[in-house]
Amino acid sequence: MSIRPAASNHGEAPVEQLCIYMLGPPHVTWEGHPLPIPRRQARALLYRLATHLDPLSREQLGLLLWPNVPEITTRTNLSRLLNHLRRALPDPGLLLTQEGQIGLDPTRVWSDTRAWTEALRAPPSSIPADTLQRIVALYRGSFLEGFSLPHCPEFDQWLIYERGRWERQYLEALAALVEMEIHQGAYEAAIAHALRYLEIDELAEDVHRQLIELYNIVGNRSAALRQFERCVAVLERELGVSPLPETRAAYQAALEGRLSEQQPVQPAWTTLPSLEAPFVGRGEAMYRLRQAYAHVQAGRGEAVLISGEPGIGKSRLLQEFVDTVRHEATTVVGGGHGAERGLPYWPLMEALRPHLTAVDWTTLPIARSSLAEITQLLPELRASLPELSSPAPAEPGQERARLFRALADLLLALAARRPPLILCLDDLHWADEATRSWLGYLGRRIRHVPVLILGAYRTGEAAAVAALRTELARLGLLQEVRLDGLTEEDVLYLVRYLSGQASGAEQFSQRMHRETGGNPFFLLEILRAMFEAGILWEDDTGWSTPVDEATEDYRELPLPDTVIQAIRTRLARLSPQARQVAEAGAVIGRRFDMDLVQATSGRREDEVVDALDMLVARQLISEHEGVYRFDHDLVQTVVYRDLSHGRRRLLHRRAGEALERRQIDDTATLAWHYERAEQADKAVTYLLQAGDRARGLYAYPEAIRHYQRALALLKEQGDHERAARTLMRLGLTYHIAFDFQKAREAYDQGFALWQRAGTVQPITLSPTAPHAFRVDWPHLLTVDPALAGDANSGGVIEQLFSGLVESSPNMNIIPDVAYSWDVLEGGRTYIFHLRDDIRWSDGVPVTAWDFEYAWKRVLDPDTQSPCASLLYDVKGARAFHQGNLRDPDSVGVRALDETTLLVELEGPISYFLHILAHSVTRPVPRHAIEAHGEAWTQTEHLVTNGPFRLHVWEWGRRVVLTRNPGYHGRFTGNVEQVELYLLVDPEAKVAKLEMYEGDTLDVLSLWWGLPPAEMERVRQKHAGEHISAPQFFIRCVCFNVSYPPFDDRQVRQAFAHAIDRGTLAHVVMRGLASPATGGFVPPGMPGHSPDIGLRYDPDRARELLAQAGYARGQGFPVIEWATFSGSEIVAEQLQKGWRRILGVEIRQETLEWGPYEERVFSGRSPVFLRAWMADYPDPDNFLRQSDHRHPTRWEHATYDALIEQAKHVVDQQERMSMYRRADEILIKEASIIPLVYSRQNMLVKPWVRRYPASPYKWWFWKDIIIEPH
């Protein structure tokens, strides 16, 4: 099937076709009637195809809509989207596909953009006025006005580009139309079209001027004067400038009631005499550079760093030396700049780019893997080597080293191709830290290689290069050359050379030397200022001044005191246009072209051309192949610093907008402009992108600076949610830079802000979520509150069943079914008062009888509830559960009536209300259980009272919960449905990852299912969506003390001291956990004891093992230990450490979870891994309730006494002290060795605006908010 575009009538939409209007707010019609396209992404696809009505490849569309998604996922997503679009169109045949191309049928589809393009194939000035009028009528507003595709940066960039392009074409058409109408005498029509022009570009001073003249011609003098006032206000507000003289002349003519007679404005400037100075006074410095070069020619690497004040001639020295050896050496030249300081490796990229097209890559002695690595910095290298593969994944912590090595390999290969090689980098004080660190690395590679490193830096900013100087000096490579001012003789030579005089000028030169200190740049600036001021001129004898040489050494000459004053004096003599263009250039940065400076300055093209010519003639800027740059950084600095705050801010905004329209990839520069423009939203967006880019290039200090700047702006705005996500990025960056303490601090601060953001109530109610809340969930084993022994099943149960109380994200207890309660007898008796308006989902009232029945059912030995012990503090509960009491009425829970529940405890306990928030205490519907027996939990029979109902349960695959319309509580979120995707095996996890990257999963957990290395890759790729939160969850290794030799405490302690928890947490587990250097009670929980753990100490470990009779492991029995599937990487790390440090042999066997648990709890495993997550936020849950005691067979009377006494102590300070003492005993006895404190790590899509979580619950789904996207 052909998908060639067909012609359509200019400006007219045929009724029988599909018509797509995009020049303004977009809409679609079919046969003249509106056609809704429901899904935003489908509309985006339709608009992209309709813009030119040309077919596009699947790859193009995939990159546009899913730029960071694997290719296989992109193909799947695009196929689904195409099917959705076909269903939305009135005729599926309107959408054509053939041989990987996708398009719309051009014979049946009309778009205003295609009609515009067909009509404007010729320049607007050559098209008849009536045709041009019909064409501009198509433009109802900006391209796709009001439409966007959130979280799709490639589409947004395309949209920005297209909007700018159509707007420019529209303005060109309007300008041509205005000129035609003026020529035809159609002044009123010209006025109308000029006004439409200013609606788009109100800074067009020439159009304001045209309107003033047109109003004057038609006799509307008051409108002309108002137009001038509007022009003045706009220019002042947007550019901080006044109207040009010709605009004021048009205003004056209107004011006086006469027609203006415009005369061409001649530039009021003349070209200065050439002041190209000879290279003088640097003989000693040049000699040292040549000496270093000679050493390099002999095969020895060298490094020379040149320092001096600004303007002293550092750059000139480098240039002169490189020019002398360019014909015989490979020269790689670049430099830093202040505006580019945040761009990783920018000086090096600038230096290498000219060589990319000049090298025969097939013969260059460098590995393809190194070149693949370098494409991260220089993607254009793939144009020469299209067969290059993507860089292979690196080992954790080795990414930056591998990039360093690849860059060095490239330099050494270039050196081998044409030795020697000179790497010359100017302004190192402005180079990024990554570049300077790489130079130190390069130094280690060139000690016996013909490579010369040349660099220059300002003495006032020596601290920036201190580490590099230290490293190069340590390697024995460094020579330092400091440049001072020229001597009086050097200045005299310069003056005579420049003036063409063979003799004389001694006193004049002495005055120049005294004023400038021999600084060459200052000297030349003073001379230029004197020429411009008319106190120095050329004549037949050379230079002349109005001051006689005999008058006291030229002291009467009015010279500036400083080079800054000299520059300011020169700038003051520029025309207004030239000064404005210079200001725009100074804001843009080191280099700029005419289009960019025109867009930034807001001046017309002819004005900018004249201004640039003046600046070049005045030797303030220079031009090379269409690129302009200031002749010295000091000129740019003075121009920039003298800008008012308001004008500086406006110019930065315009520069940023102009760069955006160019679709540049330099996010650091965009961030720099928008920060200084005080456009916080855009600055944050680009700062985060720049940070991600720097982190991806392993330039961690630069990434951290970008993130910190973004964080400061977000905190100023009070945007806690985005600030929290930025802190998570910071935490990840600190971690991969091996600053683990700062990583932990950033993660914790981020989680605190995340929680704070979750408590802020929206000003207006959020609309219903655009889709279900889709979650990666390990498993759902049961929905029976009595039978759930795992957190994941418990989390779902808490959505289905509401208890007496609930725990909030900040771990406070708030009323739920019970609206109040009384505490009697010193905390031994509770009376709960229940609401009388709560119903089961089948309409039956929820009563106190349901709670009594549920609790006694849990305690019934026949139920075999895994969590029955949580109720042991209820009077008689332990005895009843263990079969010592037969009568269920002996248990201290009793319904006094339908809405009153009495609970009696064995003794007062402070954590009792927290236990009541656990899923095991939820009520169950006795009438449903008695009616259906064990089948009561099947979806069709299940009766619940919680915020959600069970809609679908596909065992092992998927669970769907829907909002309970009869729920008695409050939904603060907007989620109507929750979808849980189950299973944790690797294949299922990979499928979930694809779902997440295809935007069909909202939360992806990073603590199960994927190998740590893959999790690290995923976390790096989606750093902006990564959340790391503290968790009351500990992983540990345990010993069965009934097994010799682990019945010996010294042996257990030796094993503990041989565990490197830091490496385990930070390297093996990739920072997904923190080293457990404290006690068994985790950080953040009351009673935590920091730093009491048996620290990593190999010498102490060997000493203890020797004291136990097993020196160097001799005589120690071979130990068989079982591990479970998924724990192999941790087990292997422990095993290697014990073998290496203690000399013992541990044989590992990996079992599935069920057999593993059976072996551990039957006492048949001498060493085993365990984990414990809090059921309630109290030390009692870890030190008394956790399951470590039974399989370790460890007994300790003092420990038991402490934890039993502590739970009844009312004084919390004393109680925590008792728990800490018990924890210290547990750690010293070493029957259980804490390994890591786990954290919640997950990816959360940006549209999940609120996602509350606590350290032991992350399923507050009724409070989640999903924004439209």
**If pLDDT is split at 50, 70 and 90, which confidence band does 338 have?**
low
The closest alpha carbon to 545, from 497, 512, 570, belongs to 512
Going by pLDDT thresholds of 50, 70 and 90, the confidence category of residue 17 is: confident
Contact 1171, 1036 (CB under 8 A): yes
Q: Is the dihedral of CA 28, 29, 34, 37 positive or negative?
A: negative
DSSP β-bridge partners for residue 874: 905
> Is there a contact between 486 and 518 (Cβ–Cβ < 8 Å)?
yes
Confidence (pLDDT) at 152: 80
Mean pLDDT of 825-847: 94
For residue 1169, what pLDDT is reported?
93
Kindly list the strands in the beta sheet with 478-482, ordered across the sheet, starting from the edge strand earlier in the chain.
Answer: 330-335, 421-426, 451-458, 302-308, 478-482
pLDDT tier for residue 1 given thresholds of 50, 70 and 90:
very low
pLDDT beyond 70 at 539? no
Query: How many CB atoms lie under 10 A from the CB of residue 1139?
Result: 14
- Strands, E, within 61-147: which ranges? 95-98, 101-104, 109-111
Task: Please state, for a pLDDT cut of 70, what percent of the chain lies above it.
Answer: 93
| pLDDT tens digits, 305-319 | 999 988 888 888 999
Looking up tokens 């076909």, which residue turns up? 86
Pairing status of strand 33-34 against strand 95-98: unpaired
Position 71 scores a pLDDT of 72
Q: Is the pLDDT of residue 1056 over 90?
A: yes
* pLDDT confidence tier of residue 489, bands split at 50, 70 and 90: confident
Contacting residues for 927 by C-beta, under 8 A, at least 6 apart: 844, 943
Residue 877 — pLDDT band, cuts 50, 70, 90?
A: very high
The pLDDT of residue 1248 is above 70: yes
Of 1133 and 522, the one with more pLDDT: 1133
pLDDT of residue 559: 57
Task: Give CA 1198 to chain center in angstroms.
Answer: 52
pLDDT tens column, 240-268: 678 877 888 888 888 877 776 544 333 33
Residues 6+ apart with CB under 8 A from 1112: 1102, 1106, 1143
Nearest Cα neighbor of 948 from 1068, 780, 797 is 797
Residue 346's pLDDT is 86
| 1176 and 1213 Cβ atoms separated by less than 8 Å | no
The overall average pLDDT reported for the chain is 87
302-308 and 478-482 beta bridge pairing: parallel
- The set of residues, in sequence order, having a beta carbon less than 8 Å from that of 749 and lying 6+ positions away, is 727
Q: How confident is the model at residue 2, as a pLDDT?
A: 24
For residue 408, the model assigns a pLDDT of: 93
Return the higher-pLDDT residue of 1222 and 395. Answer: 1222
The pLDDT, as a whole number, for residue 882 is 94
Phi and psi at residue 623, to the nearest 5°: -130, 140
**Better-predicted residue by pLDDT, 1048 or 346:** 1048
- Measured CA to CA, the distance from residue 807 to residue 236 in angstroms comes to 58
Structure tokens belonging to residue 747? 């993660």
| pLDDT, tens digit (0-9, with 9 covering 90-100), for 923-979 | 999 999 999 999 999 999 999 999 999 999 999 899 999 999 999 988 889 999 999
Q: Does 5 have pLDDT greater than 70?
A: no
pLDDT score for 1103: 96
Token look-up 């029976």 returns 784
Q: Strand 101-104 and strand 56-57: pairing?
A: antiparallel
Burial (CB count within 10 angstroms: exposed 0-12, middle 13-18, buried 19+), residue 897: exposed
Q: What is the pLDDT of residue 1038?
A: 95
18-41 residue pLDDT tens: 999 999 999 999 988 999 998 889
Beta strands in 835-947 (DSSP E): 893-897, 900-904
* pLDDT level of residue 557 (50, 70, 90 thresholds): low
> What pLDDT shows up at residue 731?
85
Confidence of residue 405 (pLDDT cuts 50, 70, 90): very high
> Which tens digits make up the pLDDT trace of 1181-1190?
999 988 888 8
Do the bridges between strand 977-981 and strand 948-954 make them parallel or antiparallel, or are there none, so unpaired? unpaired
Average pLDDT estimate for 981-1009:
87
Q: Which of 279-288, 526-535, 770-779 has the lowest mean pLDDT?
A: 526-535
Q: How far is 1118 from 1128, CA to CA, in rounded Å?
A: 19
- 174-188, 647-661, 920-934, 980-994: which has the highest mean pLDDT? 920-934
Q: Which token pair is 259?
A: 């027609």
Least trusted range by pLDDT, from 120-129, 1014-1023, 1151-1160? 120-129
Residue 542: the pLDDT is 67
Q: Model confidence at 707, in pLDDT bands (50, 70, 90)?
A: very high
User: 1197-1226 burial by CB neighbour count: b if 16+ within 10 A, else e?
Assistant: eebeebbeebbbbeeeeebbebbbbbbbbb
Q: How far apart are CA 171 and CA 198, in angstroms?
A: 9
Is residue 724 very low, low, confident or very high in pLDDT (cuts 50, 70, 90)? confident
- pLDDT score for 273: 55
Highest-confidence segment of 1-15, 232-246, 942-956: 942-956
Give residue-wise pLDDT tens across range 564-589. Answer: 777 887 888 888 888 889 999 999 98
Residue 913 has pLDDT above 70, yes or no: yes
Give every strand in the sheet of 621-624, ordered side by side: 591-593, 627-630, 621-624
Parallel, antiparallel, or unpaired for β 818-824 and 1119-1124? unpaired
Q: Is the model's pLDDT at 363 over the cut of 50?
A: yes
Higher pLDDT pick, 1211 / 112? 112
pLDDT of the residue at 342: 58
Angle at 512 between CA 511 and CA 516, to 5 degrees: 120
Looking at 259-268, 557-566, 735-744, 1198-1207, which range is the least confident one? 259-268
DSSP states of 153-174: HHHHHHHHHHHHHHHHHHHHHH
C-alpha dist (Å) from residue 108 to 20, 94, 111: 11, 7, 10
Taking the C-alpha atoms of residue 1094 and residue 1078, their distance in angstroms, rounded to an integer, is: 8
